[in-house]
Structure 1
Amino acid sequence: MNPTIGVDALSGAEGVLGYALVFVLAAIPVVEVLVVVPAGVAVGLNPPLVALAAFAGNLATVLLVLAGSDRALAFVRRRFGSADDDEPSKRVRRAKRLWRQYGTAGLALAAPITTGAHLAAVLALSLGSKRRAVATWMATSLLAWTAALATVSVYGVDSLRGLF
C-alpha cells in the first residue's frame, strides 16, 4: 500500500472530519493502522486522537469480520485458497506458518505487517482458533501497533521538522 494515499486523503481535513477520515481509512482492510496513523500525524492531526480513531476503525471492522466469520471464511477460501489446499497463496502460507509456530497470539501480533488484521482474523479462525481468542489477540495487537506507530510517528515528524 502506498503511504502517500493516506496522506493525500487526509491533507486538508481538519477537526472532526479529519478523525472521521482516519476512522474510515483504518477500517479499510488494505490501508489499516500501518498507513493511517503515520499519515494522520504527518498532516498535523492530534496524535492521541489519530491513534484512538485508527484503533477504533480497524478493530470495529475486524470484529464485524469475526461476527460474520462464516461468510468471511468462504470469501477468503475463494480469494486466497484454503489453508488446507495443496497450494495456498503466499499470504495464507505465511499466516499458517506463524499460527503453527506462535499460535493465535503470534499471528495477531504479526498481522499488521504480514497479512493485515482482517485476513489474519479469518485465517486464525480457519486454522482452529476460537472467536473470543482471536478478538482478544487482535484487539491487543492493534492497540500495541497503534500506540507504537503513533509514538514513532510523532518523533519522526519532529525529527523531520528539525531538518527543514
Structure 2
Amino acid sequence: MNPTHTQQQAVEILSQVQPDPALVADIYSLAIMLIYGTLFAVLPLVAGLLLAPRETAPLLSAIYECGMPAFGRARAARFGVFYYLYALIFIVFEVDVLFLFPIARIYREHVGLAGFFEILLFVIILALAVAYAWTKGVLKWEREALSLH
C-alpha cells in the first residue's frame, strides 16, 4: 500500500462529506452565547475600572462595618439569622419552576389531557408546599427578639 494513495483517498472521502446545517447552526448559536456571556461578565468589570473615580483618601481604605464606626465588643450582640429559611424556600421553588420551562416547551408537541393533568399536579404540589410553609409560620416576617442574657 502506498501511503500517498491512502492519503488521497482520505482527502477525497472528506471532501465529499457535507456538515449537517442544523449542527452548524447549533455550533454557531453556542459560540454566540459564549461570546455574549463572556461580554456580559467582563464589560461591567472593565467599565468599573475605566469609569471609577481615582481618589485616594485615608478613610477609603479604613476597615468599616455598615458605614458606622464600631463601638463596644463585637460579640456582645447576637443577631437572629432567620433569613436562611427564605433563601432555602426561594431556591427550592426556583428549581421547581425551572422544571416547568422544559414542560412548557414540549407541551405544544404533546398536547393532551394527560399532559395537562401532570402539569396541574406539579403546580398543586408546589401550592401545597407553600401552604405547609405558611401554616408552619415560616413565611411570617416578625420574629421575637433574642435575649442577650
> Normalising TM by the smaller chain, what interval?
under 0.3
Q: Which has the higher helix share?
A: 1
TM-score (norm 1): 0.25
Structure of larger gyration radius: 2
TM-score (norm 2): 0.27
